[in-house]
């Protein structure tokens, strides 16, 4: 898939004086990068400053970090069906501003993306409107009702990168078993939400805070039980499974145990769950009503340790645009979700600045790790790979203001947060899709 | 001097009786955040209101000309009337919004309702809502004072204050008393507000309920949890019963009404375990034969009717204190 349609191929460029970091090759050198026809041609020190192409341009990176563009495994948009919350175009703008060059678009739209024609629609809209690569995920069950399998083979041929019921947890063990078994024949990836519907009907983490605020709680077990069930099913079916968003320390243990047993599983954590805990909800701030919910501080720390030691494979934005009509309500009546495309990198960098996780590992969890799990060519700076890159300054301080967001919805969990590290340039297939003065 | 004083006098709140500064309170959303001093200030003021309410002429027009809007998203005849009477005795113009039949039913959100009402320049908004946090949200969106008359399972501060006034009048002081709160603590805003208030004033609070009706980490609220009435009632000065909502009786949290009454209903033999002079309270309306036996509800130890009387007095006091605080902040 390409970004913006343009008849002209992107011009050749030489990025000089960059700290080049590529987690896929553990590369961290001061070098130049030559990009031509949308691909990475050469990485090296002191590359020739002259080129036969007339449009050739040199970009001085001023020692900032040039790395692979971020790949986000969990983004919700509102197109089709809820364009007032987010369109493919506005989501792509937000992604570009956040340094995300590819994102998996969740099938939770109206209608649900459960059919070849709808996957085609998303891809076509992406081609027309999107600055970044949009990778459609298809519904695991028809209409996301958890009853009948969707056409995995045909959907995959049409370009679906994974199968998921998005926000919904597959409640039937039999359904999950068959999906894992059947998708296995196509090497298809099942991405699953893990929040038991009956047990997890609350609105925030169960515990003292929920009790104090008089809100129904979501016990940790609501996540652990379906996750443990799914691990059993993966062992039984030899399927390929990805846990979309972990939130409890026990869930990290479950995944670690499954990986020890050699199961084909991976797991992600939402950026909010590594930066915030339930105390941040304060006095019923609905923008911090999230799914999975913000948990305790110990859980947050377990997420970070999971990222560091490799149990958790990806950090995702869990971008879920909501409008005032679904958020400016009493906490218990509001919808879950927060936008996250534009804060993903900065939240990830907090782990680096706090000396919890090496920078290379943080970048890996947001780019090459997820790309590898999806089996994509992007997420690397290897010669011949698509020139999906970002240039960022890991140290520049900034404050997130909701009115500066590119997303059509403003429901950020990080309003007024202080961050360190910001995207300067986002390049998709050799074209600059976002840039900021530096 | 006297003349200029007369000129500046905006209402009777400026009268010498009000020269003690009120606690700095813009709204009354919950007991959380109130100090023991704030609570006693309001209870002392409420004592005056009790006297006034027992007179033939019950007017105390300190807040005349001001507007009170009652906004009840959940039907509650008693509480709404209590606020209405309180407002009227203070000389306010009281409007009851019939929310159940209004635009809210047509899909208007709480915030839109709040903004609309705010434009009508009320001085006090009293709200009951089925969602926890609703009062807080309302308070953020309006310019006037908000009194929370119950928001979901969060808080119901005037109920806790009226309970405290009732106890204080009966027992002299709240400090050191052993108070048992019995019943559906998990879903009760009355329990939360009472636990907070009684702890602030130095009582020992126990909760008694089947485990399915106790919220998680309830001990962290500063109470001792008991799973049997026999253990929990021993040595209590105050027994506070909670109302069990009908929809929670059949199967989901407890198996049946009769099983609940058998193990958690307050009857003669159980009240005998408490201190001889223990008082029995209930926020009403009661389910006779479910959480409380009739002979106890109507018995000598019951102060349930007095609670209702104290309700009006406490609400008058809260309204006056909020307005006084607002006036002090304005000048």
Average pLDDT (B190-211) is: 97
Identify whether the C-beta of residue A371 lies closer than 8 Å to the C-beta of residue A71: yes
Q: Taking the CB of residue B201, how many other CB atoms lie within 10 A of it?
A: 19
- What confidence score (pLDDT) does residue B330 get? 82
What's the mean pLDDT in A7-23? 88
β-pairing, A27-36 with A13-22? antiparallel
Q: Residue B131 and residue A330: Cβ atoms within 8 Å?
A: yes
Which residue is listed with tokens 């998921």? A164
Strand arrangement, sheet containing B145-151 = B93-97, B67-72, B124-129, B145-151
Minimum mean pLDDT range among A3-17, A83-97, B121-135: A3-17
Do residues A349 and A428 share a domain? no
Going by pLDDT thresholds of 50, 70 and 90, the confidence category of residue B328 is confident
A195-227 pLDDT, tens per residue? 999 999 999 999 999 999 999 999 999 999 999
Q: How confident is the model at residue A402 (pLDDT cuts 50, 70, 90)?
A: very high
Which of B115, B132, B196 is the best residue to mutate to test the A interface, defined by the most A CB atoms within 10 Å of its own CB?
A: B132
Q: Is A4 inside a domain boundary?
A: no
CA distances to A26, B168, B195 from B162, rounded to whole Å, are 68, 10, 13
CA distances B28 to B45, B138, B158, B257, Å, are 15, 12, 8, 35
Judge whether B38 is closer than 8 Å to chain A, CB to CB: no
Query: Would you list which residues of chain A are within 8 Å, Cβ to Cβ, of chain B?
Result: 206-208, 210-215, 217, 219, 283-284, 325, 328-333
Residue B251's pLDDT is what? 65
Q: Which two tokens stand for residue A421?
A: 């590290």
| Ramachandran assignment for A116, one of left (phi > 0), alpha (psi -120 to 50 degrees), beta (any other) | alpha
Q: How far apart are CA A409 and CA A430, in angstroms?
A: 29
Q: Please tell me the predicted confidence (pLDDT) of residue B11.
A: 62
Contact indicator for B319, B124 with CB cutoff of 8 Å: yes
Chain A contact for B173 (CB, 8 A cutoff):
no
Average pLDDT over residues A402-429: 96
pLDDT digit string, tens, across residues B128-181 = 999 999 999 999 999 999 999 999 999 999 999 999 999 999 999 999 999 999
Q: Do B109 and A331 touch (CB under 8 A)?
A: no
Q: Across the interface, do B221 and A330 touch by the CB < 8 Å criterion?
A: no
What's the CA gap between B218 and A71, in Å, rounded?
A: 43
User: Are A19 and A103 found together in one domain?
Assistant: no
Is residue A90 domain-resident? yes
Helix, strand, or coil (residue A13): strand
Residue A8 counted as domain residue:
no
Cross-strand partners of A22: A27
- Give me the number of domains chain A comprises: 2
Say which residues have a Cβ less than 8 Å from residue B263's Cβ, sequence separation at least 6.
B210, B228, B229
Which of A339, A374, A409 lies at the terminal end of a domain, its last residue? A374
Judgement on whether residues A244 and A98 belong to the same structural domain of the protein: yes
- Please report whether residue A381 resides in a domain: no
Residue A1 — pLDDT band, cuts 50, 70, 90? very low
| Rounded-to-integer distance, Cα B147 and Cα B138, Å | 10
Does residue A159 fall inside a structural domain?
A: yes
Question: Same structural domain for residues A99 and A188?
Answer: yes
Contact (CB<8Å) B153/A214 = yes
User: Which of the two residues, B97 and A77, has the higher pLDDT score?
Assistant: A77
Residue numbers in A near B217 (CB within 8 A): 207-208, 211
Which of A212, A213, A284 has the CB atom closest to B137's CB atom? A284
Same domain, A50 and A162: no
Q: What is the DSSP letter of A90?
A: H
* Contact between A328 and B109 using a beta-carbon 8 Å cutoff: yes
- The larger pLDDT score, comparing residue B99 to residue A191, is at A191
Residue contact A210–B109, C-beta within 8 A: no
Helix (H, G, I), strand (E, B) or coil at A380: coil
Which of A217, A325, A332 lies closest to B133 in CB terms?
Answer: A332
pLDDT over 90 at A167, yes or no: yes
CA A223 from chain centre, in angstroms, equals 20
pLDDT digits (tens, 9 = 90+) for A343-398: 999 999 999 999 999 999 999 999 999 999 999 999 999 999 999 999 999 999 99
Q: Which of A211, A213, A283 minimises the CB distance to B217? A: A211
A92 shares a domain with A18: no
* Contacts A–B by Cβ distance under 8 A: 68
Is the separation of the CB atoms in B154 and A213 below 8 Å?
yes
Does residue A7 lie in a domain region?
no
- Chain B residue closest in CA terms to A325: B109
Residue in chain A closest to B217 (alpha carbons) equals A208
Q: State the average pLDDT for chain A.
A: 95
A314 bridge partner residues: A268
| Residue B327 banded pLDDT, cuts 50, 70, 90 | confident
Q: Say yes or no: A85 and A207 in one domain.
A: yes
**Token couple for B13:** 């709140």
Q: Among A34-43, A54-63, A90-99, A117-126, name the one with the lowest average pLDDT.
A: A54-63
Helix axes B134-141, B110-119, angle to 10 degrees: 40
The pLDDT assigned to A3 comes to: 46
B93: pLDDT strictly greater than 50? yes
Q: Which of B69, B36, B43 is nearest to B158 (CA)?
A: B43
Shortest Cα distance, chain A CAs vs residue B27, angstroms: 14
Q: Give the three-class secondary structure for A261.
A: coil
Residue at A380 is within a domain: no
State yes or no: pLDDT of B101 exceeds 70. no
- Look up the CATH number of the domain holding residue A33: 2.30.40.10
Partners of A215 on chain B (C-beta within 8 Å) are 132-133, 152-154
Tokens read off for A47: 């590359």
Domain end, chosen from A374, A404, A422, is at A374
Max CA distance (Å), chain B? 72
Whether residues B152 and A214 touch (CB distance < 8 A) is answered with yes
Domain boundary among A353, A374, A395: A374
Average pLDDT over residues B242-246: 87
Residue A4 clears pLDDT 60, i.e. is over it? no
**Contact between B132 and A332 using a beta-carbon 8 Å cutoff:** yes
Instruction: Assess contact for B278 and B318: CB atoms under 8 A.
Output: no
DSSP structural state of residue A14:
E
Which residues form the domain of A48? 13-66+386-435
A81 and A225 belong to one structural domain: yes
C-alpha neighbours within 13 Å on the C-beta side of residue B30: 26
CATH code: domain of residue A223: 3.20.20.140
Q: From residue A323, how far is each of A326, A344, B37, B50 by CA, in Å?
A: 6, 20, 42, 48
Position A272 in a domain? yes
**Nearest-angstrom CA–CA distance, B47 and A295:** 45
Q: Are residues A99 and A164 both part of a single domain?
A: yes
pLDDT of residue B14: 65
- Select from A435, A332, A432, A358 the least CA-distant residue to A393: A435
Q: Are residues A399 and A296 in the same domain?
A: no
pLDDT per residue as tens digits for the range A306-341: 999 999 999 999 999 999 889 989 999 999 999 999
d(CA B12, CA A42): 84
The answer to whether residues A209 and A328 belong to one domain is yes
Decide if A330 and B134 are in contact by the 8 Å CB cutoff: yes
B20 vs A400, residue with greater confidence: A400
Do A62 and A79 lie in one domain? The reply is: no
Task: Tell whether B98 lies on the interface with A, counting CB pairs under 8 A.
Answer: no
Q: Distance between terminal CA atoms of chain B?
A: 19
Among the listed residues A356, A370, A341, the one whose alpha carbon sits nearest the alpha carbon of residue A268: A370
Which chain B residue lies closest to A208 (C-alpha atoms)?
B217
Instruction: Confirm or reject contact between B77 and chain A (CB < 8 A).
Output: no
pLDDT over 80 at B99, yes or no: no
């Amino acid at each position: 898939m390409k970004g913006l349609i343009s008849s002209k191929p992107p011009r050749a460029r030489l990025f000089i004086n960059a700290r080049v970091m590529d987690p896929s090759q553990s590369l961290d050198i001061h070098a130049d990068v030559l990009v031509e026809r949308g691909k990475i041609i050469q990485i090296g020190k002191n590359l020739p400053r002259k080129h036969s192409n007339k449009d050739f341009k040199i970009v001085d990176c001023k020692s900032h970090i040039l790395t692979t563009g971020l790949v986000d495994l969990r983004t919700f948009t509102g197109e089709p069906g809820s364009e007032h919350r987010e369109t493919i175009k506005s989501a792509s703008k937000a992604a570009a501003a956040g340094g995300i060059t590819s994102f998996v678009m969740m099938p939770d739209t109206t209608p649900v993306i459960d059919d070849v024609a709808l996957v085609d629609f998303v891809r076509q809209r992406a081609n027309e409107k999107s600055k970044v690569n949009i990778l459609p995920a298809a519904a695991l069950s028809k209409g996301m009702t958890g009853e009948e399998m969707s056409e995995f083979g045909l959907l995959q041929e049409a370009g679906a990168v994974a199968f998921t019921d998005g926000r919904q947890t597959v409640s039937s063990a039999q359904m999950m078993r068959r999906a894992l078994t059947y998708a296995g024949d196509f090497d298809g990836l099942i991405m699953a939400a893990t929040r038991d519907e009956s047990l997890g009907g609350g609105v925030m983490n169960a515990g003292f805070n929920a009790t104090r605020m008089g809100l129904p709680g979501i016990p940790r077990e609501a996540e652990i039980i379906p996750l443990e069930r799914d691990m059993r099913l993966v062992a039984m079916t030899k399927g390929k499974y990805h846990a979309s968003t972990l939130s409890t320390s026990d869930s990290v243990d479950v995944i670690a145990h499954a990986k020890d047993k050699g199961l084909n599983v991976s797991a992600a954590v939402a950026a909010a769950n590594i930066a915030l805990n339930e105390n941040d909800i304060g006095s019923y701030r609905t923008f911090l009503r999230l799914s999975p919910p913000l948990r305790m501080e110990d859980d947050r720390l377990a997420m970070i340790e999971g990222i560091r030691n490799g149990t958790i494979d990806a950090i995702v934005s869990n971008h879920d645009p909501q409008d005032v009509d679904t958020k400016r309500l009493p906490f218990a009546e509001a919808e879950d979700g927060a936008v996250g495309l534009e804060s993903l990198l900065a939240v990830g960098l907090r782990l680096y600045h706090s000396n919890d996780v090496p920078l290379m590992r943080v970048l890996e969890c947001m780019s090459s790790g997820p790309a590898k799990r999806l089996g994509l060519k992007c997420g690397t700076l290897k010669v011949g790979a698509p020139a999906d890159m970002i240039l960022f300054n890991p140290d520049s301080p900034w404050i997130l203001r909701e009115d500066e967001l590119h997303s059509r919805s403003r429901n950020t969990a990080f309003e007024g947060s202080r961050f360190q590290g910001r995207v300067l340039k986002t390049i998709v297939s050799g074209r600059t899709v976002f840039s900021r003065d530096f | 001097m006297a003349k200029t004083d007369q000129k500046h006098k905006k209402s009777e709140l400026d009268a010498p009786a009000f020269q003690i500064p009120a606690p700095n309170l813009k709204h009354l959303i919950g007991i959380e955040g109130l100090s023991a001093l704030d609570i006693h200030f309001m209870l002392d003021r409420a004592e005056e209101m009790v006297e006034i309410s027992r007179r033939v002429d019950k007017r105390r027009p300190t807040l005349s000309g001001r507007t009170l809007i009652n906004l009840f998203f959940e039907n509650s005849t008693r509480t709404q009337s209590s606020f209405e009477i309180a407002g009227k005795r203070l000389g306010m113009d009281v409007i009851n919004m019939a929310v159940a039949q209004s635009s809210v039913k047509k899909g208007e959100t709480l915030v839109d309702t709040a903004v609309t009402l705010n434009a009508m320049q009320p001085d006090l908004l009293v709200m009951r809502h089925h969602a926890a946090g609703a009062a807080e949200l309302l308070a953020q969106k309006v310019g006037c004072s908000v009194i929370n008359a119950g928001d979901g399972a969060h808080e119901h501060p005037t109920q806790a204050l009226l309970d405290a006034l009732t106890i204080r009048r009966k027992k002299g002081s709240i400090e050191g008393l052993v108070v048992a709160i019995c019943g559906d603590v998990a879903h009760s805003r009355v329990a939360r507000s009472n636990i907070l208030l009684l702890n602030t004033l130095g009582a020992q609070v126990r909760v008694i309920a089947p485990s399915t009706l106790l919220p998680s980490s309830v001990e962290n609220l500063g109470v001792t949890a008991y799973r049997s009435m026999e253990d929990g009632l021993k040595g209590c000065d105050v027994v506070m019963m909670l109302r069990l909502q009908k929809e929670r009786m059949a199967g989901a949290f407890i198996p049946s009404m009769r099983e609940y009454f058998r193990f958690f209903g307050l009857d003669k033999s159980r009240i005998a375990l408490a201190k001889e002079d223990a008082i029995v309270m209930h926020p009403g309306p009661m389910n006779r034969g479910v959480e409380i036996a009739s002979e106890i509800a109507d018995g000598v130890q019951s102060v349930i009717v007095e609670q209702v009387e104290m309700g009006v007095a406490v609400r008058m006091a809260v309204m006056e204190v909020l307005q006084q605080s607002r006036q002090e902040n304005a000048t």
